Structure 1
Amino acid sequence: MSTVFTANVYAAAAAAGGKGLDSLCHGEFFNPVSDPNSNNFFPISIFGKAFGGSKWENPPIMHTGALCNCPSIILQGANSPGINISYWRPSKVLDISRIPGCAPSLGGKVVLSGYEENMGDVTIEEGGNALRQIMEWDYDVLGVMKVFEGLVCSKISSISLAYDSNLDPTLNTLPNGNLGEAEAALFFSNVVTLMSCVVDGVSALVMGWPVDFLPYCSGHQTNSYPYDNKVDSNNHISQLNFKVAVDHIVFKQAARFSEWVTIGPTAQCFSHPFYFPVKSAYRFNRTFPFNDNGSRKLVVGTPLHVHDIFSRNTPATVDATILVWKANQCCFKVIP
């Protein structure tokens, strides 16, 4: 989706949205030039050599050799040798708000009215849950990377339409028995399983990437099941919003086969859907109400109570905009 087309969609949606809750919806227009943290672009690996950093800054599953061998379109499926390339690119913009239909990335505008019953809380007492609404927007500057991935790498990305949790009955009519309760019972029924998620959290903090072979863990964001938009209110507001982003884009959308596997041995030649996510393929760049413009990269499991110490949101700025970066591998074939 091009930047120009996206801007037009945003403007039209904002004009058609509800006005009653606009005063409660806060945000800033997302700037595709200044808001992305350029540190998330790196390292870029070509022919096994990393540029803009060390390849060990990437998760182990993303480490590749110099050469690859993948099916060629011109050769009608026969393999062609190629050069391995790995890189990170902006993928999604997530708007997270307690206000139904609120798009912080549009300057704090309600773009969908009529869902006032889905209003969330700023925060609530310990032991309860806070409700957040989620808007997901495709993000790819001028569509350049998707063209590259489709034509040069022979990789077709998943089709991801704009998503609004207000329109998702599986989130706002809980429970309905189809929201990951089975996974919750399977993965979080004993202390041993819960303790294994501590390893995930330590890896996210120390190494800078989560442990992919623990697909049910999200480190210091605790468990990811069931797939809903109600989160434990024991943490501060910026932690709540971060957890909602992690649960939504990484776990729920992967289980719906909207988020495809783009790194690792099975994705060297083709991206593909898979129920359990490759967690280490994601980085999170918060752009509102503050911008993560430092060198630290937020990943699944990053403990914000260590990274932020105090909440970066205030009761007046409960809403958030988060740019999601995704890792990709590409076999640049001699014969496409």
Structure 2
Amino acid sequence: MTGLPRRLFGLFAFLLAMIALAPPATAAGPTCNGKFVNPITDVCWSCLFPLSVGALKIWPSSRPDPSNPASPICACADPLPRIGISVGFWEPARLADVTMKPWCFPNLGGIRIAPGFDIGQGYLTGPSMVGGRSQSTAKWHVHWYVYPLLYWMEILTDFACFEQASFDIAYMTEVDPLWQDDSLAALINPEAIVFANPIAQAACAGDCIAGTVHLPLDPLFWCAGCQGSMYPLNGNIPSSIGHVQSSRLA
């Protein structure tokens, strides 16, 4: 072997040696942990109930349920005019995860899908004295998935009203500049100023009581039951209870 073939062989051997001796690559950024959702064991199947036809409870449940139409016969015009039966139940159609690590997707097995630019890290702080009051604050990132589980598993396949879609990531807070800043979020949600007062916040106590007894009160839409205020509509949580409250917008 002489000339050009020898040089090519030497170069190929050198590249193989570099690959073999190179240290294992590590993903940039913090470690991301998680697992894929098991549709059998990780889904609250009993939460689908109560099942009703009109006002008649076919499969009762101890869980609260909003008011259903009194008549079992209904009509709709989307996509075509048709008459059907009014059936009420809870359909699992969306999935959310919250994380303090940007670009970390716990529900996708704990993978990081980072485009290469940095986004502020989330945080969770314990009680601290702010103005003489104890206050916990937090900031999380939220991912919102399209997850029509009943349609995928072909349960109750005759229902034309099921959401028929494939798995998708519908929203990521990392790419939303409004999620990072209260002032920017107020540009599209100026009503936050109306609810940033002691009277509006005190009204959430009534929403907490109603949510504990049965269901929260729809007129108090700025409240999230016992989890506090819904505003500001971004990732800043002024009175953190935990990751459940942090995903309240998802």
What is the TM-score of this pair, normalised by structure 1?
0.55
Q: Which residue of 2 aligns with 1:130?
A: 138
Quote the offset at 1:161 in angstroms.
5.3
Q: Which residue of 2 aligns with 1:116?
A: 118
Partner secondary structure for residue 94 of structure 1: strand
Match of 1:65 among 57, 62, 70: 70
Match of 1:86 among 85, 88, 91: 88
Once residues 69 and 101 of structure 2 are traced to their aligned partners in structure 1, the CA distance between those partners, rounded to angstroms, is 44
Once residues 124 and 56 of structure 1 are traced to their aligned partners in structure 2, the CA distance between those partners, rounded to angstroms, is 32
Partner secondary structure for residue 135 of structure 1: strand
Deviations 1:230-260 (A, max 9, x none): 112x54xxx33111211x12xxxxxxxxxxx
Q: Which residue of 1 aligns with 2:211?
A: 204
Partner secondary structure for residue 145 of structure 2: strand
Once residues 161 and 106 of structure 1 are traced to their aligned partners in structure 2, the CA distance between those partners, rounded to angstroms, is 10
Is 1:179–1:226's contact at 8 Å kept on the other side of the alignment? no
Deviations 1:207-251 (A, max 9, x none): 2x211122121121111112110112x54xxx33111211x12xx
Question: What does 1:242-257 correspond to in 2, within 5 Å?
Answer: 242-246=244-248, 248-249=249-250
Q: Which residue of 2 aligns with 1:139?
A: 147
Once residues 46 and 118 of structure 2 are traced to their aligned partners in structure 1, the CA distance between those partners, rounded to angstroms, is 38
Once residues 245 and 115 of structure 2 are traced to their aligned partners in structure 1, the CA distance between those partners, rounded to angstroms, is 25
Once residues 163 and 155 of structure 1 are traced to their aligned partners in structure 2, the CA distance between those partners, rounded to angstroms, is 18
Query: Percent of aligned pairs with the same residue?
Result: 22
Match of 2:41 among 14, 28, 34: 34
Partner secondary structure for residue 34 of structure 2: coil
Q: Is 1:168 the equivalent of 2:195?
A: no
Change beyond 3 A, Cα 1:91–1:219: same
Once residues 52 and 84 of structure 1 are traced to their aligned partners in structure 2, the CA distance between those partners, rounded to angstroms, is 14
Partner secondary structure for residue 63 of structure 1: coil
1:137 aligned partner, one-letter code = Y
Is 1:22–1:108's contact at 8 Å kept on the other side of the alignment? no
Question: What does 1:1-80 correspond to in 2, within 5 Å?
Answer: 19-21=27-29, 23=31, 25-54=32-61, 57-59=64-66, 62-71=67-76, 77=81
Deviations 1:269-315 (A, max 9, x none): xxxxxxxxxxxxxxxxxxxxxxxxxxxxxxxxxxxxxxxxxxxxxxx
Match of 1:178 among 187, 201, 204: 187
1:65 aligned partner, one-letter code = A
Q: Is 1:106 the equivalent of 2:108?
A: yes
Aligned residues between the structures: 216
Aligned residues: CA RMSD: 3.4
Once residues 218 and 73 of structure 2 are traced to their aligned partners in structure 1, the CA distance between those partners, rounded to angstroms, is 23
Quote the offset at 1:187 in angstroms.
2.6
- In the TM superposition, structure 1's runs of 4+ consecutive aligned residues that sit over 4 Å from their partners are 71-74, 144-151, 153-157
Deviations 1:71-111 (A, max 9, x none): 4579x75xx65422111111211121100001111222212
Is 2:119–2:174's contact at 8 Å kept on the other side of the alignment? no
Once residues 34 and 19 of structure 1 are traced to their aligned partners in structure 2, the CA distance between those partners, rounded to angstroms, is 30
Deviations 1:154-191 (A, max 9, x none): 9999xx852111101111244224152x2222134342
Quote the offset at 1:151 in angstroms.
7.4
Once residues 124 and 179 of structure 1 are traced to their aligned partners in structure 2, the CA distance between those partners, rounded to angstroms, is 30
Once residues 71 and 175 of structure 1 are traced to their aligned partners in structure 2, the CA distance between those partners, rounded to angstroms, is 41
Change beyond 3 A, Cα 1:106–1:197: same
1:123 aligned partner, one-letter code = T
Quote the offset at 1:201 in angstroms.
0.5
2:204 aligned partner, one-letter code = C
Once residues 155 and 104 of structure 1 are traced to their aligned partners in structure 2, the CA distance between those partners, rounded to angstroms, is 24
Change beyond 3 A, Cα 1:130–1:149: farther
| Higher RCO (C-alpha under 8 Å, 6+ residues apart) | 1
Change beyond 3 A, Cα 1:154–1:134: closer
Once residues 150 and 126 of structure 2 are traced to their aligned partners in structure 1, the CA distance between those partners, rounded to angstroms, is 41
Once residues 53 and 163 of structure 1 are traced to their aligned partners in structure 2, the CA distance between those partners, rounded to angstroms, is 34
